[in-house]
């Protein structure tokens, strides 16, 4: 069981690391928001499910409630995080920010 939890947690960490690198490395506003959204959804899903599994290990009713609360965090972040990214992209478009293009395309 512990091995499964560790693997899931590592998966989550991979997403978190990739997302953080993406936020720094991507060229412009819109493409940076893409890893920011992924990091919230996928990374959180994996790490939180690992936490939820870890909590219920000696199984009891109170532990189950705690793990349901952890799952609820994932549910709410899944609803709010994409909406937040959507609103930010919308604001960027309305403010007139042009998406980045390769320099060869601009000529």
Partner 1 sequence: MRITGLILILLLGGLLIYGALDFPIWGDPQSPASNHLSPYYIEHTMTDTSVPNVVTSVLADYRGYDTMFETVVIFTAGIVSFFLLRIFKKAVPESRLYRHIPTGVTLRIEKGGKVPDESNHFERIDSVWIPYDLVIRTTCRMIIPFIQIFALYVIAHGHHSPGGGFQGGVIFGASVVLFAIGFNLRQAIKQLGEKFVTFMCALGVSIYAGTGIFCVLMKSKYLDYSALAALFGTDPVTARSHGILIVEIGVGIAVMAAMIMLYYNLASAGKHDEGL
Q: Is 73 in the site for partner 1 (CB under 8 A)?
A: no
Q: Is 80 in the site for partner 1 (CB under 8 A)?
A: yes
Residue span binding partner 1 (CB under 8 A) among the ranges 7-15, 29-37, 74-82, 97-105 = 74-82
Residue span binding partner 1 (CB under 8 A) among the ranges 6-14, 16-24, 38-46, 72-80 = 72-80
User: At closest approach, how far in Å is the CB of 80 from partner 1?
Assistant: 6
Among 59, 62, 94, 106, interactor with partner 1 by CB under 8 A: 94
User: Which residue pairs from 55-60 have beta carbons closer than 8 angstroms and sit at least 24 positions apart in sequence?
Assistant: 57/1
Summarize as ranges the residues that interact with partner 1 (CB under 8 A). Answer: 76, 79-80, 83, 86-87, 90, 94
């Amino acid at each position: 069981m512990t091995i499964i939890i560790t693997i899931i947690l590592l998966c989550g960490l991979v997403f978190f690391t990739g997302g953080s690198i993406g936020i720094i490395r991507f060229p412009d506003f819109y493409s940076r928001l893409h890893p920011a959204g992924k990091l919230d959804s996928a990374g959180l899903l994996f790490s939180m499910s690992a936490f939820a599994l870890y909590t219920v290990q000696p199984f009891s009713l109170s532990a189950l409630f705690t793990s349901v609360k952890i799952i609820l965090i994932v549910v709410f972040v899944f609803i709010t995080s994409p909406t937040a990214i959507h609103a930010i992209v919308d604001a960027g478009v309305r403010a007139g920010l042009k998406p980045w293009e390769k320099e060869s395309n601009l000529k």
